[in-house]
Structure formats: structure tokens, C-alpha cells
Amino acid sequence: MGKKVSLLKPLLPSLDEFIPSLHEIWGNQWLTNDGDFHNRLEEELKSFLGVPNLLLMTNGTLPIMTALHALKVRGEVITTPYSFVGTTHAITWQGLKPVFADVEATTGCIDPQRIEDAITPQTEAILAVHIYGQPCDIENIRDIASRHELKVIYDAAHAFGVKKDGKSILNEGDVSTLSFHATKVFNTAEGGALITKDSEICDIVRNLRNFGIESETEVACPGINSKMDELRSALGLANLRHVEETIAARSEVHTLYRNQLADIEGIDLLPIYHDISYNYGYFPIRINEILFGRSRDEVYDELKEKGITTRRYFYPLISNLPFYSGIPSADASNLPEANRWSETVLCLPCHHLLSEEDVYSVSEALKEAKR
């Protein structure tokens, strides 16, 4: 096939745009601990995302762990096995018990009915994930949480800037968390954030992310170090200036793919809901082995041989990993849809620098792979 087609490319400012910020940081001689760039990025992200409270952190896993701690969650946390493994790891690292619930057949997001079925007297929280930026069924999850007095945390690593009915989905639940990893629509190389409407929770987390320190002589609680430094904050500020055009470019990539792949028997595309403003971070397809004539893994291997990088995202399923597979809720009979998603999804190359020619090449390679 000609040139290689990569899966993801990070959003990066030009060096000419970024270097002045480095000079300013060096001039300030302030590299971390609530510096000017850090505080500016928090304020600009709050405004851009339409959220009342946002706290930057050094990666996307620590906000989940910190949220569980700040909300004083104990016992069981109902979550999805169809996610990046860091979601469940965050539960385990807090000494809590993950309980897996199956996902919806149409979206891959956790199924509210299966959440309800999994609730026990030990259940204290729901940790749901907006898969590929597709919002969970937030209305039904809200109702379940209210009736059973459960905390709700949304892992919104894929959902930067996503809105439903014109409102940010990051304001749902008790806490939402973001990842600013280099592969995300908006990145700070590594980084993340915690969002909450509750100002009291915000104050608690602000202390927790800096060892629990309140002043030079006072430590209020046993916290952790999850602060974001000035260098990554500066990168984030530079990238934030371009994120809207980046999302627009990804939207065009999605449209091109949909036009190319819509009529290929055996390739299923995710639904589009017109009340959702997406960020187009990923382009997942599902391979129906019977209709397509090849398994997802066979297609993955063939595209790789042609220089096209795809990802079986998320595979293996978290509940099938050795250290989680012994949990009763991890049994495959409890998670039929999650297992199907894990065995059929292929994320195609999707980023703001992907050309029309690239999309055509990937699409043609998929057509050639069909039997």
C-alpha cells in the first residue's frame, strides 16, 4: 500500500507558538505548585467546557482514584468491563471491589438495567464510562443512583467537549474525570482533570492532590501528589487554541469514513444521535465475522501488513484478565454484550491530520479484506 497510516496523532502547537511559553516559565523560575500557566489552564478549560469546578492532575487515572477517596466510597463499585484497564485499576487501588455490569448492544456503554441488577447492600457507587465519547444513558443512571443513594463517577476520558442538548455531559454525576493523554482530542502530553458541581468536593480534592497540605504548617489529611506542572500546563494552553479546528477536522474524517463504509456488508458503524455534539475522537467499526467473511483479528492482521495501524479497542476485556477473571461478576455469561464488543471492534486511524487519500486507502483495504 503506499505510505503507512497511523492510528492517532497528538494535537501539538508549532514550536514558534510554544517556545515563548517556555521562556516565560524559565524566567519565572516556577515549574510546579499552582503556577501561572496551571491556574490559567484551569480557568480556560472551565470556560471552554462549561463546568463550574475543574482541577488539573498529572494523568487521567488519579482523578478517578481521588474521586473515590473524596466521596468516601467503601465496599462495591459497579463498573463496566469494556474500558481501558485503568478504570478498574483505580477501584482496586482504593481497596474497593469492582462489580462488572454488561454494556448496551448499541453503544457499548454500561447498561442501566444491568447496573440495577448488580446492586447489593454493599454497593456504594457507579463508575460508568462514556465509550468513544458516546454518552452513557445518564438519565436512567441518575434515577438509579437517586433511588439507591449511590455516588456516580463518570470516566469521561473520551468525552472532552461532548455535549447533550447543548449542555456539557461533564456536569453529570457527582464527579466526571478527563484524560489529557497524548492520544486524546485535547492533550497535555500526560495529564487529566476532575470536574464536579459540588464546591465542597472540589475543596477536598484540591487538598488531596497536594499531599493534603493546606498551608506551610498545616496538613489537613493524608493526600497524594497529583499536581500538574507548568510545562504541561503551557502545552495545554497552546493546544486549547486549536482544539475546535481539530474537532472540526476529525468530524470531516468521520464523514468520509461513513460515506466509504456505509454499504459494506459485515461492517457495522456506531449510531449517530442528533442531540449529541461529539468530539470525533475515535472511529470504531464492528466486524460481523459471518457477513464479512473474516474475523476482526484477521482483518487487524491484514491491515497491519499493509502499514495501516488499527486498534482492538478494548481488547482483552478487563473482566477476562487473570487478576479480575475470578470475580463472580466477571463470568462471560454475565457479560455477553461486553465480550461481543471486545471481540468485534476495530478502531480505524482517526486524527486531525488524516487526509482524504488516507481515509480512502484505509477504506479500500477494508473492502479488499472482505470475503
Q: How many helices, marked H, and strands, marked E, lie in the chain?
A: 13, 13
Q: What are phi and psi of 94, to 5 degrees?
A: -90, 5
Residue 3: predicted pLDDT: 63
Distance CA 23, CA 281 (A): 32
**d(C-alpha 9, C-alpha 84), whole Å:** 19
**CATH fold for the domain made of 243-369:** Aspartate Aminotransferase, domain 1 (3.90.1150)
Phi/psi at 81 (5° precision)? -85, -10
Neighbours of 139 (CB within 10 A): 11
d(CA 305, CA 275): 39
257 grid coordinates: 469514513
192-195 vs 276-277, strand pairing mode: unpaired
Q: What residue spans define the domains of the chain?
A: 15-240, 243-369
Residues 6 or more apart whose Cβ sits within 8 Å of residue 298: 369
Closest CA to 28 of 41, 16, 37, 17: 37
Residue from 294, 295, 297, 291 nearest 311 by CA: 297
To 10 degrees, what angle do helices 62-70 and 199-208 make? 120
Residue 260 pLDDT: 97
pLDDT score for 1: 44
DSSP state of 140: H
Neighbours of 117 (CB within 10 A): 12
Burial of 216 (0-12, 13-18, 19+ CB in 10 A): exposed
C-alpha to C-alpha distance for 102 and 117, rounded to whole angstroms: 10
The predicted structure's pLDDT at residue 8: 85
Coil, strand, or helix at residue 204?
helix
Helix (H) or strand (E) holding 366: helix 356-369
Please check whether residue 154 is in contact with residue 173, taking contact to mean a CB–CB distance below 8 angstroms: yes
Phi and psi (nearest 5°) for 113? -65, -40
User: DSSP letter at 152?
Assistant: E
Beta pairing partners, 103: 110
- Third-level CATH fold of 15-240: Aspartate Aminotransferase; domain 2 (3.40.640)
Compute the distance between CA of residue 135 and CA of residue 104 in angstroms, rounded to an integer: 12
pLDDT truncated to tens, each residue of the chain (371 aa)?
Answer: 456 888 889 999 999 999 999 999 999 999 999 999 999 999 999 999 999 999 999 999 999 999 999 999 999 999 999 999 999 999 999 999 999 999 999 999 999 999 999 999 999 999 999 999 999 999 999 999 999 999 999 999 999 999 999 999 999 999 999 999 999 999 999 999 999 999 999 999 999 999 999 989 999 999 999 999 999 999 999 999 999 999 999 999 999 999 999 999 999 999 999 999 999 999 999 999 999 999 999 999 999 999 999 999 999 999 999 999 999 999 999 999 999 999 999 999 999 999 999 999 999 999 999 98
